[in-house]
């Protein structure tokens, strides 16, 4: 069957994956209220189409942190992509390249930076978790920069991994052959007590990430590399102001796809205050619940420069490797192009606050 909505990729992906892997991908933390809120928040934002606008084919191009993109949709960092397809990150990076956009490699990518860089054609970003062992982190940053990554995205919403109940119940662990190949093995295999009430993977990851870092530590990261630095996981005006005061180059409004603080504000509900606080000084990106080209349009109307997509890329990857991810990105492109045409906006910069109205649910 031809897949005509992103949710149809979700349905197509599910039977291809073991139930515990599916739960790991789909799940959120706690009651999954933030996961649900991310999706619902988009539905309250209705488009105000303008007519007789003399639309020629819409221009979806944008330059982000010096990288020219053919569409304002970037692949979000998601860990261990070989869980769903043997090619893993290499397939998704190749699809990003084909679509004229960027791939973001997770700290916990399951293919090497060098393989990802080759597939992405040099257009990729590196998502950083602040590892406890700074010398290991330093070497990792050097390797990513050496492989040509164009910017760093430090994830700041994960001083500790959220309680994802599905994974705890499933005692989720990585299958043989899937691991974080860019993290030095000394870090990954360090002995620690396994708490039987928890999930091995989350314990392992919590064990590796430094929960104690503060704004003051960003100077250290800055000193390691001249690459542009984004913070991912900002949802308040206060932290936006602090980020800009600390010289951050871009903000990613995100609650980690509802996987960290359950009850945290939906990304689209947080976006306006971050955009206002940023006041045009740095680009603002957003992720969490983007499931259509209309959702991309809605995010841009509320002031985002671009969006990231997480789970839909994984569904495409599970469904058909690089071709599946390409199909997901093409669908988003076609839908965004259509909504721009029907809403009377030829360029991304025409998608302003007047393009939507938020209605009560
Ligand atoms: C399976 C999975 C793994 C993820 N791994 C990471 C990660 O390694 N680093 C990170 O910063 N965010 C990670 N995220 C969060 C995504 O980058 C992104 O914020 C989220 O998926 C966006 O929501 P969406 O899935 O609704 O598009 C992960 C998300 C999922 C679903």
Q: Which of 40, 160, 194, 256 is catalytic?
A: 256
- pLDDT bucket at 191, cuts 50 / 70 / 90: very low
Q: Is the pLDDT of residue 189 over 60?
A: no
Ligand 1 binding pocket (C-beta < 6 A) is: 25, 38, 76-79, 106, 108, 127, 155, 232, 254, 256-257, 259, 287-290, 309-311
User: How confident is the model over 278-290, as pLDDT tens digits?
Assistant: 999 999 999 999 9
How far, in Å, CA of 132 to CA of 187, rounded?
Answer: 9
pLDDT score of 102: 98
Q: Is the pLDDT of residue 198 over 80?
A: no
Interval between CA 227 and ligand 1 midpoint (Å): 22
Does 319 participate in catalysis according to the annotation? no
pLDDT score of 197: 64
pTM reported for the whole predicted model = 0.97
Contacts of residue 126, defined as CB under 8 A and 6 or more positions apart, other chains included, come to 104, 105, 107, 113, 141, 144, 149, 151, 152, 153
Of 186 and 170, the structure prediction assigns the larger pLDDT to 170
Mean pLDDT of 97-105: 98
User: How confident is the model over 116-126, as pLDDT tens digits?
Assistant: 999 999 899 99
- The stretches of 147-199 forming alpha helices (DSSP H) are 165-170, 185-188
User: How confident is the model over 277-326, as pLDDT tens digits?
Assistant: 999 999 999 999 999 999 999 999 999 999 999 999 999 999 999 999 99
pLDDT, averaged across the chain: 95
pLDDT score of 206: 85
Closest listed residue to residue 76, CA positions, set 208, 194, 220, 233: 233
Strand partners, 47: 356
Query: Percent of the chain at pLDDT above 70?
Result: 97
């Amino acid at each position: 069957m031809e897949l005509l909505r992103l949710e149809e990729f979700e349905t197509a992906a599910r039977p291809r994956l073991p139930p515990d892997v599916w739960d790991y991908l789909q799940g959120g933390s706690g009651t999954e209220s933030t996961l649900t809120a991310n999706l619902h928040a988009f539905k309250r934002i209705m488009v105000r189409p303008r007519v007789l606008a003399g639309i020629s084919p819409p221009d979806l191009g944008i330059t982000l942190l010096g990288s020219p993109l053919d569409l304002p949709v970037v692949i979000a960092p998601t860990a261990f992509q070989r869980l769903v397809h043997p090619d893993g990150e290499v397939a998704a990076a190749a699809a990003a390249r084909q679509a004229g956009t960027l791939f973001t490699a997770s700290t916990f990518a399951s293919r090497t930076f060098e393989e990802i860089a080759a597939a992405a054609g040099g257009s990729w970003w590196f998502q950083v978790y602040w590892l406890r062992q700074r010398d290991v982190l330093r070497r990792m940053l050097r390797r990513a920069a050496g492989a040509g990554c164009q910017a760093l995205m430090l994830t700041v919403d994960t001083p500790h991994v959220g309680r994802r109940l599905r994974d705890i119940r499933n005692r989720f662990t990585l299958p043989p052959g899937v691991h974080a190949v860019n993290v030095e093995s000394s870090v990954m295999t360090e002995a620690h007590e396994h708490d039987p009430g928890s999930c091995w993977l989350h314990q392992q990851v919590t064990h590796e990430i430094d929960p104690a870092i503060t704004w003051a530590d960003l100077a250290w990261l800055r000193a390691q590399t001249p690459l542009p630095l984004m913070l991912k996981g900002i949802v308040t005006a206060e932290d936006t102001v602090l980020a800009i005061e600390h010289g951050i180059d871009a903000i990613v409004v995100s609650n980690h796809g509802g996987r960290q603080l359950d009850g945290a504000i939906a990304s689209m509900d947080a976006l306006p205050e971050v955009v206002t606080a940023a006041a045009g000084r740095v680009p603002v990106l957003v992720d969490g619940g983007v499931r259509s080209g209309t959702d991309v349009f809605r995010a841009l109307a509320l002031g985002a420069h671009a969006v990231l997509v997480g789970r839909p890329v994984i569904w495409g990857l599970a469904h058909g490797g690089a071709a599946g991810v390409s199909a997901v990105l093409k669908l988003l492109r076609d839908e965004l192009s259509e909504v721009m045409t029907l809403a009377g906006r030829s360029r991304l910069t025409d998608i302003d606050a007047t393009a939507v109205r938020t209605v009560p649910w």
